Structure 1
Amino acid sequence: MLKPLTMASTGGAVPPPTPSTPTARANNIGSRCRSKRKTIVNRDCNNLIENTILQLNTTLQSIQTNASFTNFDVQTWLSTALTNIEICRSGSRDLNVTKFSSPILSGNVSELISNSLATNGGLLDNSSSSYHSSDDNGYPAWVSGRDRELLQDLELASRANVIVAKDGSGQFRSIQAAINYATARRVGNGRVVVYVKRGVYRENILISRTMNKVMLVGDGLRFTVITGSRSVSSGFTTYSSATVGIDGIGFIARGITFRNTAGPQNGQAVALRSASDLSVFYACGFEGYQDTLFVHAQRQFYKACYIYGTIDFIFGNAAVVFQNCIIYVRRPLVGQANVITAQGRGDPFQNTGISIHNSRIMPARDLKPVVRSFKTYLGRPWQQYSRTVIMKSYLDSLVSPEGWSRWEDSDFALSTLYYGEYQNFGPGGSTRNRVKWPGYHVISSPNVANRFTVANLIAGRAWLPSTGVPFTAGL
């Protein structure tokens, strides 16, 4: 198990907020902010600081108490902590807050985390143990027997803790109000199930890091829609533009569409941001243009979903698998090119990446008539060690022959990224004219491709069975 990030390197567990801690000082900075932009950046960073403290404390406690967690878990928590720090920095760039500073951005916190990632990464490579701790039945420790029964129930709506309905036929008209109520009154550690009846719900929702094991059940992605219109051009960071933001562990959504209607002219505008570890999205929709789906951090699984967008519309630094999904590329603004992914791995030892498996990449209805007028790329490197793999998927003719794009016409990360394709097919699936970068790979070995499956990238065999969601563990 990890050694460098211990008492010697941190002085013990990171304390909860007090008047002298980084979080409290960030709050004091926030109270003195005189502009909306600075206030938003401060609020984002405050949340990210607290989440980073949580990840580091979880890591330390698992080491010091010899808890039943593996090196893979530790690597995930450290990866998230480092990602949070970078997202804090990028938020100030989004809104051009040039003089913004935060305690988490100073000192050697990032360096300590990177060193710990490197050391623990070596242990992970040499470990013969399973990727995720589990009990004798193959379920992770936090999943109770009662929870498993609930998650496998096909009539979840009838067993909901609360019901949301636009027409007043439920206990609540607001999804956020229902989540707040149900989580505050939770008995024990059971799952909270919120049934959202058909309707278009115009609200921005936050499921905070204290709201674990929340499940949203809709009437189907065409009928239950959560929509917002925040964007960077309207004064929000990419992080805070999300219509729905999720931080609590073990989130599940089924039969819901998450939408951002800001439009292509307003730049980054997120429909859903998730940093929920061990989270599942099943038969859901994600609709937007630039930056539609922010897979921020932790382990995530998307099954039978629809994702719509134009530029970098699947982005972030989670360990995430998309399986049996349809990715629809929309019509961008004149002069723009479409880019599907922008993966944000900033450290070579982070166990993160985007895997698109057994899926389809297609032009959306508005792009079809003019598809030859716009280039479409599979991805571009948001960070130095960007990692994306597309496997056994159908690529329509909209995919440009070169396949992948540079970041703003630069040579950034071309030798350090890892982009791979394995047994894709369709008119856009040929790798004959793909880019010749050092970091691009036409994968021929099943052993290499297996690194990016549900079983290995997100340790899915250990926790997905508990959700009742169908999945393919291997290729």
Structure 2
Amino acid sequence: MDAMGLKFFIIILFFTSANSRTHLNSLKIAEEGYLDWIRRMSFRNHSHFEEAKNIFVPCKIIKVHKNPKYGDFTSMQKAINSIPVVNLCRVVISVSAGTYKEKIEIPATMAYVTFEGAGSDKTIIQWDDTADRKGPKGQPMGTYGSATFAINAPYFVAKNIAFKNKAPPPPAGVTGKQAVAVRISADMAAFINCKFVGTQDTLYDHKGRHYFKNCYIQGSVDFIFGDGLSLYEGCRLHAKTNKYGALTAQKRESMLEETGFSFVNCKVTGSGALYLGRAWGTFSRVVFAYTFMDKIITPKGWYNWGDKKREMTVFYGQFKCSGPGADHTGRVSWARELTQQEAQPFISLSFIDGHKWLKNI
């Protein structure tokens, strides 16, 4: 049982206790259970995910360059096509500076692929699909299919590269304009010094363990969303909207799911009025620690997705955040200002079991 599940359990005990002594004993038991959860989440090997068996030494390096004289291929897709469909060793694709107008998808069997750009301001991959755009079979491709860059294979790494969805910002009230820059539907993916640029639904943190280090992520509504177990460290989170927006929409649907987003030593900036998160999932879980928040953050901080029942089951917390938008006094009553002990499971690589699969990245 996770923290918010135990919180709900405590409340039930309060209203059903027959006498004060029984009530106090029950609260003590529930509190001990909560502390047990904290301790378990602090262990290195707490996750239900499979054990990591990463490969770090490359067996092959492929060069992509706009000029065929200086590279093996002139497009990222051609480089990917040259890799065995069932890949069993680390392949590094080195991409030179330039803007690559491509829509890329890495199949589930093509593990251990690394993309290295010349810098997130120099190496850019972009496309402009939206959820309502028709796919090859004439049906709308949906949010899932709108991604410029989609990863379905484990152990993916990207460094020093920008991913963009160039679809224009949608008018207010228009549906079907979700436009994903990157979708990550695989376990153990890492992004170092990368940029993710879009408007609505920029980064689809779909499922699996993910790590983002020193990245820039820009959008307007739910621009980091999904049901991943992900750590964002030292990232710049930039809202670009003239109205209300939301930074996260985490989709945890059960207290048994070990998923959630943790933002550590990040910086939230931009324009408009921004919620830290919306409860897309009934048990949505998001934590911000040591993060600077500009004045764009709405005082309430969080939105229940129009469902008051979710206020009893979500886990939304802050720990030692700073800036004009970090003031917790105006927050909704169902968000938490965490203690050191409560925050501890969320603020290190152990949150995503990263001590193994992130080695040498």
Query: Partners in 2 of 1:231 and 1:412 — Cα distance?
Result: 32
On the 8 A contact 1:276/1:298 being kept in 2, the answer is yes
Q: Quick one: higher RCO (CA 8 Å, sep 6+), 1 or 2?
A: 2
SS class of match (2:84): helix
Q: For residues 121-169 of structure 1, what are the alpha-carbon distances to aligned partners after superposition, in whole Å with 9 as ceiling and x for unaligned? A: x9x9599783479xxxxxx66234xx2x55xxxxxxxx96211122323
Query: Partners in 2 of 1:420 and 1:132 — Cα distance?
Result: 21
Query: Partners in 2 of 1:185 and 1:299 — Cα distance?
Result: 21
Query: Partners in 1 of 2:291 and 2:86 — Cα distance?
Result: 44
Q: Give 1:346's match in structure 2, choosing from 245, 253, 268.
A: 253
Is residue 183 of structure 2 the alignment partner of residue 286 of structure 1?
Answer: no
Tell me the amino acid that sits aligned with residue 341 of structure 2: N
Q: How does 1:227-246 map to 2 (within 5 A)?
A: 227-234=126-133, 235-246=140-151
Q: Evaluate the alpha carbon distance shift between residue 166 and residue 322 of structure 1 in structure 2; reply closer, same or farther with a 3 A threshold.
A: same
SS class of match (1:413): helix
Query: Partners in 2 of 1:287 and 1:191 — Cα distance?
Result: 27
Q: Evaluate the alpha carbon distance shift between residue 132 and residue 353 of structure 1 in structure 2; reply closer, same or farther with a 3 A threshold.
A: closer
CA RMSD of aligned residues (A): 2.4
Identity %: 33
Counterpart in the other structure of 2:284:
386
On the 8 A contact 2:86/2:110 being kept in 1, the answer is no
1:184 deviates by: 4.7
1:245 deviates by: 0.5
Counterpart in the other structure of 1:172:
73
Greater Cα offset, 306-315 or 374-383: 374-383
**Relative to total residues, which structure has the larger strand share, 1 or 2?**
2
Query: Partners in 2 of 1:458 and 1:357 — Cα distance?
Result: 13
Q: For residues 26-81 of structure 1, what are the alpha-carbon distances to aligned partners after superposition, in whole Å with 9 as ceiling and x for unaligned? A: xxxxxxxxxxxxxxxxxxxxxxxxxxxxxxxxxxxxxxxxxxxxxxxxxxxxxxxx
Query: Partners in 1 of 2:178 and 2:245 — Cα distance?
Result: 13
On the 8 A contact 2:43/2:350 being kept in 1, the answer is no
Query: Partners in 1 of 2:312 and 2:265 — Cα distance?
Result: 27
Is residue 76 of structure 2 the alignment partner of residue 161 of structure 1?
Answer: no
Q: Evaluate the alpha carbon distance shift between residue 431 and residue 254 of structure 1 in structure 2; reply closer, same or farther with a 3 A threshold.
A: same
1:347 deviates by: 1.1
Tell me the amino acid that sits aligned with residue 202 of structure 1: K
Q: Evaluate the alpha carbon distance shift between residue 396 and residue 127 of structure 1 in structure 2; reply closer, same or farther with a 3 A threshold.
A: closer
Counterpart in the other structure of 2:153:
248
On the 8 A contact 1:160/1:195 being kept in 2, the answer is no
Counterpart in the other structure of 1:328:
238
SS class of match (2:310): coil
Counterpart in the other structure of 1:401:
299
Which consecutive residues of structure 1, in runs of 5 or more, have no partner in the other structure? 1-121, 134-139, 151-158, 368-373, 468-475
1:406 deviates by: 2.9
Query: Partners in 1 of 2:221 and 2:333 — Cα distance?
Result: 22
- After TM superposition, the score normalised by the length of structure 2 is 0.81
Counterpart in the other structure of 1:260:
165
Query: Partners in 1 of 2:329 and 2:128 — Cα distance?
Result: 41
Counterpart in the other structure of 1:442:
337
Query: Partners in 1 of 2:92 and 2:217 — Cα distance?
Result: 24
Q: Evaluate the alpha carbon distance shift between residue 396 and residue 129 of structure 1 in structure 2; reply closer, same or farther with a 3 A threshold.
A: closer
Counterpart in the other structure of 2:10:
none
1:191 deviates by: 0.1
Q: Give 1:361's match in structure 2, choosing from 243, 268, 288.
A: 268
Query: Partners in 1 of 2:124 and 2:42 — Cα distance?
Result: 44
Q: Give 2:324's match in structure 1, choosing from 419, 427, 438.
A: 427
SS class of match (1:402): coil
